[in-house]
């Protein structure tokens, strides 16, 4: 199974890359290569003209390492104080920017400067958090200076291969060998994990990064495992006021944009094969039913009643009511009846479970409410106005029930659901009932 999986994965990637090229390799690729070379020469000329030297990279690197991160005195205040664009951070940041290993032309480290100095900075000109977010991201970038070959910008000769995948044989990812396997070092060992371009952090990751240590100090108990800490952090994230969350969403947004600037060609897909074993991830805790006959929240409650959806649907993930029939907490790969990814489909075996699991596959207490009954009960409750009589849902876990209000980033966050508003026609009380019963899991 696993072996199949591996090969399938490779297959998928190859096929897609072939598709993506969309032109039969051959003369086109030759011409492309020539174009790329021209471009590279031009960039090299620009570099030398700007006085920058690739050889200086090491010096710059050591400079950065020599500068401790605490030299960002604004950081400690970020958590609590709204950041003013006029906050005097620039004098401090300037040396970093000017000597950035990313080069003078790198927009990544320039962004904070732009944010702070230019009132017309196009990104979040009015956001009190933007400056802070930018500074945080910049700090992160400095502290985690990428390995040489990963650095963006014309200063890095290796970058051409990274930024212009056309230098690589078709279908070959920057971190892969031509066989599609992780590229190996000269010694024959696998390339270190750090050698691939990592995904930009999302809001929650930034939150974790910032608060993990705090939490550790707070509880003082270092026996707590990381996973446990993360649970706690997840709770705190839910409890975090919307405005506070917004700060992290902006940091994430900033990080994404920087990342995109730095690695325009990069796609998250490139990392999919990096840690293959992770495909084993299970989704067990989903108390969810395996009743494939159950409709998904969207279908059950309608698109306009997102506040009634389960948390997974809200996050555009797998609905609890309509999860896979396999039911097993093991293994996600190819578990869903859609026969999704190459793994299952290429095996040629249609999902054996499709439609085969009876609706009562789960213990009664774990059965999600019948949609019709549920709505009836809901209406009844609304009519009676007795929110408490329903009692807690067996599926509910208080820790993760979150209000739709703070459930997500604000509307300014474009890619986040912004339809979390409570229907004004529903009273708060009713809404709570709905939340208890429908947002079951959590």
Partner DNA sequence: CGTCCTTTGAAGAAG
Partner DNA sequence: CTTCTTCAAAGGACG
Q: Which of residues 184-203 bind DNA (CB under 7 A)?
A: 190, 196, 198-199, 201-203
**CA–CA separation, 50 and 35 (whole Å):** 23
Instruction: Write the interaction track for DNA spanning residues 47-86; mark x where CB under 7 A is met and - where it is not.
Output: ----------------------------------------
Residue closer to DNA (CB basis): 71 or 267: 267
**Cβ–Cβ contacts within 10 Å for residue 196, how many?**
22
Residue closer to DNA (CB basis): 33 or 303: 303
Do 74 and 135 touch, CB atoms closer than 8 A? yes
133 binds DNA (CB under 7 A): no
Instruction: Write the interaction track for DNA spanning residues 3-42; mark x where CB under 7 A is met and - where it is not.
Output: ---------x---x--------------------------
Burial pattern 409-427, b for ≥16 Cβ within 10 A else e, equals beeebeebbeebebeeebe
Q: Which of residues 387-416 bind DNA (CB under 7 A)?
A: 400, 407-409, 413, 415-416
Q: Which of residues 230-269 bind DNA (CB under 7 A)?
A: 230-231, 233-234, 237-238, 245, 249, 252, 256, 267-269
**CA–CA separation, 132 and 76 (whole Å):** 11
Residue from 84, 226, 349, 356 in contact with DNA (CB under 7 A): 226
DSSP character string of 10-37: HHHHHHHHHHHH-S-TTHHHHHHHHHHH
Residue closer to DNA (CB basis): 38 or 282: 282
**CA–CA separation, 95 and 101 (whole Å):** 12
51 dihedral zone (left: phi>0; alpha: psi -120 to 50; beta):
left
Q: Which of residues 320-339 bind DNA (CB under 7 A)?
A: 322-324, 332-333, 335-336, 338-339
369 binds DNA (CB under 7 A): no
Do 436 and 393 touch, CB atoms closer than 8 A? yes
CA angle 269, 273, 277 (to 5 degrees): 130
**CA–CA separation, 315 and 299 (whole Å):** 15
**CA–CA separation, 51 and 53 (whole Å):** 6
Work out the end-to-end distance of the chain between its first and last CA atoms, rounded to an integer number of angstroms: 32
User: In Å, how far are 175, 190, 266, 274 from 195, measured between CA atoms?
Assistant: 8, 10, 14, 10
Residue closer to DNA (CB basis): 126 or 221: 221
209 binds DNA (CB under 7 A): yes
Q: How far is the CB of 237 from DNA (least distance, A)?
A: 5
Residue closer to DNA (CB basis): 115 or 252: 252
162 binds DNA (CB under 7 A): no
Residue closer to DNA (CB basis): 159 or 245: 245
**CA–CA separation, 248 and 259 (whole Å):** 16
Q: How far is the CB of 138 from DNA (least distance, A)?
A: 16
Instruction: Write the interaction track for DNA spanning residues 268-307; mark x where CB under 7 A is met and - where it is not.
Output: xx-xxxxxxxxxxxxx-x----------x-xx---x----
Q: Which stretch binds DNA (CB under 7 A): 152-160, 221-229, 364-372, 378-386?
A: 221-229
Residue closer to DNA (CB basis): 40 or 274: 274
Residues whose CB is less than 8 angstroms from the CB of residue 239 and which lie 6 or more positions away in sequence, other chains included: 406
Q: How far is the CB of 33 from DNA (least distance, A)?
A: 23
Tokens linked to 124: 């979040």
Residue closer to DNA (CB basis): 120 or 225: 225
Residue closer to DNA (CB basis): 47 or 270: 270
């Amino acid at each position: 199974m696993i072996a199949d999986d591996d090969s399938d994965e490779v297959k998928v990637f190859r096929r897609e890359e072939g598709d993506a090229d969309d032109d039969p390799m051959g003369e086109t690729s030759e011409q492309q290569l020539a174009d790329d070379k021209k471009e590279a020469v031009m960039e090299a000329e620009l570099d030398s003209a700007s006085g920058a030297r690739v050889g200086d990279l090491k010096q710059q690197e050591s400079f950065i390492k020599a500068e401790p991160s605490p030299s960002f005195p604004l950081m400690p205040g970020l958590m609590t104080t709204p950041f003013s664009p006029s906050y005097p951070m620039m004098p401090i940041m300037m040396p970093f920017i000017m000597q950035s290993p990313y080069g003078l032309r790198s927009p990544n480290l320039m962004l904070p400067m732009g944010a702070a100095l230019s009132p017309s900075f196009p990104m979040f000109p009015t956001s009190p958090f933007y400056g802070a977010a930018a500074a945080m991201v910049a700090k992160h970038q400095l502290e985690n200076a990428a390995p040489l070959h990963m650095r963006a910008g014309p200063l890095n000769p290796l970058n051409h291969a990274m930024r212009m995948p056309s230098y690589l044989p078709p279908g070959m990812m920057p971190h892969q060998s031509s066989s599609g396997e992780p590229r190996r070092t000269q010694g024959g060992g696998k390339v270190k994990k750090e050698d691939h371009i990592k995904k930009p952090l999302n809001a929650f990751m930034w939150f974790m990064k910032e608060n993990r240590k705090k939490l550790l100090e707070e509880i003082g108990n270092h026996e707590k495992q990381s996973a446990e800490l993360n649970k706690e952090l997840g709770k705190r994230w839910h409890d975090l006021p919307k405005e506070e969350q917004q700060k992290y969403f902006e940091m994430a947004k900033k990080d994404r944009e920087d990342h995109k600037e730095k690695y325009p060609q990069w796609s998250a897909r490139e990392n999919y094969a990096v840690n293959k074993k992770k495909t084993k991830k299970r989704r067990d805790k989903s108390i969810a039913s395996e009743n494939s006959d159950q409709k998904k929240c969207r279908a059950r409650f309608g698109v306009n009643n997102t506040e009634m959806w389960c948390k997974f649907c809200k996050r555009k993930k797998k609905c609890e009511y309509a999860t896979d029939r396999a039911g097993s907490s093991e293994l996600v790969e190819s578990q869903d009846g859609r026969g999704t990814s190459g793994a299952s489909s290429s095996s040629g075996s249609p999902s054996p479970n499709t439609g085969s699991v009876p609706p009562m596959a789960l213990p009664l207490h774990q059965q999600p409410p019948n949609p019709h009954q549920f709505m009836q009960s809901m209406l009844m409750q609304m009519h009676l106005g007795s929110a408490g009589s329903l009692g807690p849902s067996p599926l509910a876990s208080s820790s993760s029930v979150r209000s739709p209000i703070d459930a997500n980033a604000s509307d300014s966050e474009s890619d986040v659901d912004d339809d979390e508003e409570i229907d004004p026609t529903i009273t708060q009380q009713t809404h709570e009932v709905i939340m208890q019963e429908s947002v079951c899991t959590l």
